[in-house]
Amino acid sequence: MNVLVLGSGGREHALVWKISQSPLVNKLYCGPGNPGTASLAHNLEIDPCNFEAVKQAVMDYALSMVVVGPEEPLVRGIADYFSSEEALKDCFLVGPGARGAQLEGSKDFAKAFMRRHGIPTAGYASFTQEQTAEAVDYLTRHKPPYVLKADGLAAGKGVVILSDLQEAKEEIRAILGGKFGDAGNTVVIEEFLEGIELSFFFITDGTSYQILPHAKDYKRIGVGDTGLNTGGMGAVSPVPFADEAFMKKVEERIIGPTVAGLASEEIDYKGFVFVGIMNCGGDPYVIEYNVRMGDPETEVVMPRLRSDLLELLDALAKGKLVDASVEASPKGAVSVMLVSGGYPQEYAQGYPVTGLDQVADALVFHAGTREEEGVIRTKGGRVLAVTGLHADLREARSQAYRALSGIRFKDVYYRTDIGLDVI
Ligand code: AMP
Ligand code: GLY
């Protein structure tokens, strides 16, 4: 099979790394990819949201599968585009149609979906711009902390949690007033859930599913999970407290009903589902759906996946997912993100990265790098994800930290406590 992975981050490098190990792969491409994917696949200069360009690549390289990494092309309808184009009818696209992608693209849609199907999630109310006064009134009738969410995609910045009523009122007015553009035309106000958040992943064809290894990601910039929210500073898999009993609840109360809900609403969905779940005193509640894999979770999930990912996706394409199975390695994985100093606020780019060739017993996934005359340079906030994999999660953690200590670029920053809370 000739396969194209769309995207350019650490998640895509991990997907390419995994798919490249499959005996089913003939030629592997990544668009636009990064220097990490270039070592395993042919990078193509494609913008994943330029559907015409993706179509051209499918024809030029005789692709039989396209795996979509990020959410944006999915929310914009790349899967629907594939179904509507005659020239693409023999190429399978991994990812839901625009309607299914609303699970991530619209928080209001996701909440209403969960309400319709009895899936446990925080209580909520939605308000449009015209209902700003009602939204403010709603806040005064509820207790802090206030969880305010812009309905649409807001580059991971659309969730604001405030404990001061006055600030929350101002924030509601700002969001409905256009702070996040059209993404904030509707706002969801949610009950605050107390607990530990985990990331669960499954592949579905809209009627059956196969569960992938789960993970925990570390969202804040600072040690002890303090400071500003980021795209993710590290991840660990598995999470010891997500035991069999908890997994059973997640499957029975969330994964099963989600897939049954997709089927009953006839939503075309063939792809990954990522469910962010809060463990509230042993009971799982959905925080959010994403219609793609997580980043940096993929950098620990793929190393732990023993099954052939391409074989699973091929089963998905052929309507045989129900007969497939997923085998996870008993080994644990810990991934630490090296980021540019200043991230998630302003940071400089273009610094040379050294020491990459010295890494021995860890995996290095490129997230924000570029190559220039043989030199790898920083390009972006999150630069590299360094993953250790070992039977003992503690040793996996040590491997990652040992490996990253030899990698250098100016103003590099990373959290020193990834995995400590669960080991
Ligand atoms: P998101 O951008 O949707 O990933 O949300 C950002 C973060 O806000 C999540 O990872 C949670 O940690 C937190 N969060 C979202 N919804 C809630 C909620 N209802 N209760 C508590 N924390 C939440
Ligand atoms: N790590 C969270 C995300 O990918 O959205």
- For 106-145, the pLDDT digits (tens) are 999 999 999 999 999 999 999 999 989 999 999 999 999 9
Hey, which of 104, 107, 153, 290 would you mutate to test ligand 2's pocket, going by the most ligand atoms within 8 Å of its Cβ?
A: 290
The CB of 297 under 6 Å from ligand 1? The reply is no
The single residue listed with the structure tokens 């590099």 is: 412
Distance (Å) of CA 57 to CA 32, 38, 369: 12, 17, 23
316: part of which helix (H) or strand (E)? helix 309-317
Structure tokens at 174: 């700002």
**For residue 69, which of 9, 26, 21 has the smallest C-alpha distance?**
9
Closest residue to atom 5 of ligand 2, CA basis = 294
pLDDT at 172 over 80: yes
Phi first, then psi: what are they for 282, rounded to 5°?
A: 95, -5
pLDDT in tens, 283-320: 999 999 999 999 999 999 999 999 999 999 999 999 99
C-alpha–C-alpha distance, residues 275 and 292, integer Å: 10
- CA Rg value for the chain: 21
CA 405 to chain centre: 26
**Ligand 1 centroid, distance to 280 Cα (angstroms):** 13
Query: CA neighbours within 13 Å on the CB side: how many for 10?
Result: 33
Closest residue to atom 3 of ligand 2, CA basis = 294
**Ligand 1 centroid, distance to 374 Cα (angstroms):** 41
C-alpha–C-alpha distance, residues 109 and 128, integer Å: 13
Tally of CB atoms within 10 A around 350 = 12
Hey, which of 287, 289, 292 would you mutate to test ligand 1's pocket, going by the most ligand atoms within 8 Å of its Cβ?
A: 287
**For residue 239, which of 292, 277, 192 has the smallest C-alpha distance?**
277
SS3 357: helix
The confidence score (pLDDT) of residue 181 equals 86
The CB of 159 under 6 Å from ligand 1? The reply is yes
Instruction: Mention every residue, 6+ apart, whose C-beta is less than 8 A from residue 399.
Output: 334, 361, 362, 388, 389, 390
**For residue 218, which of 316, 108, 335 has the smallest C-alpha distance?**
335
Which regions of 137-185 does DSSP assign to beta strands (E)? 146-150, 159-162
SS3 118: coil
The confidence score (pLDDT) of residue 341 equals 97
C-alpha–C-alpha distance, residues 417 and 408, integer Å: 19
299 φψ region: left (φ > 0), alpha (ψ -120 to 50), beta (else): alpha
Structure tokens at 142: 């509820």
**For residue 67, which of 130, 112, 17, 140 has the smallest C-alpha distance?**
17
Smallest-distance ligand from the CA of 274: 2
Smallest-distance ligand from the CA of 288: 1
357: confidence class by pLDDT, cuts 50, 70, 90: very high
157: confidence class by pLDDT, cuts 50, 70, 90: confident
The confidence score (pLDDT) of residue 184 equals 85
The confidence score (pLDDT) of residue 161 equals 92
Q: Of all atoms in ligand 1, which is nearest to the CA of residue 158?
A: 2
Q: Of all atoms in ligand 1, which is nearest to the CA of residue 107?
A: 3
**Is the pTM above the cut of 0.85?**
yes
**Ligand 1 centroid, distance to 194 Cα (angstroms):** 10
Report strand pairing: 234-237 vs 369-372: unpaired
C-alpha–C-alpha distance, residues 261 and 408, integer Å: 48
The confidence score (pLDDT) of residue 76 equals 97
**Ligand 1 centroid, distance to 190 Cα (angstroms):** 10
pLDDT at 154 over 90: no
DSSP secondary structure, 55-98, as one string: HHHHHHTT-SEEEE-SSHHHHTTHHHHHHH-GGGTTSEEES--H
**Ligand 2 centroid, distance to 85 Cα (angstroms):** 31
C-alpha–C-alpha distance, residues 364 and 387, integer Å: 6
**For residue 11, which of 255, 292, 397 has the smallest C-alpha distance?**
292
Q: Is the dihedral of CA 234, 282, 208, 122 positive or negative?
A: negative
Q: Note whether 32 and 47 are within 8 A (CB).
A: yes
Instruction: Mention every residue, 6+ apart, whose C-beta is less than 8 A from residue 285.
Output: 120, 121, 122, 193, 195, 277, 278
Mean pLDDT of 320-347: 97
Ligand 2 pocket, CB under 6 A: 217, 232, 290, 294-295, 297
The CB of 196 under 6 Å from ligand 1? The reply is no
Closest residue to atom 6 of ligand 1, CA basis = 159
C-alpha–C-alpha distance, residues 387 and 233, integer Å: 12
DSSP secondary structure, 377-410, as one string: EE-SSEEEEEEEEESSHHHHHHHHHHHHTT-B-T
The confidence score (pLDDT) of residue 158 equals 87
Phi first, then psi: what are they for 137, rounded to 5°?
A: -65, -40
pLDDT in tens, 360-408: 899 999 999 999 999 999 999 999 999 999 999 999 999 999 999 999 9
pLDDT in tens, 220-235: 999 999 999 899 999 9
**Ligand 1 centroid, distance to 192 Cα (angstroms):** 9
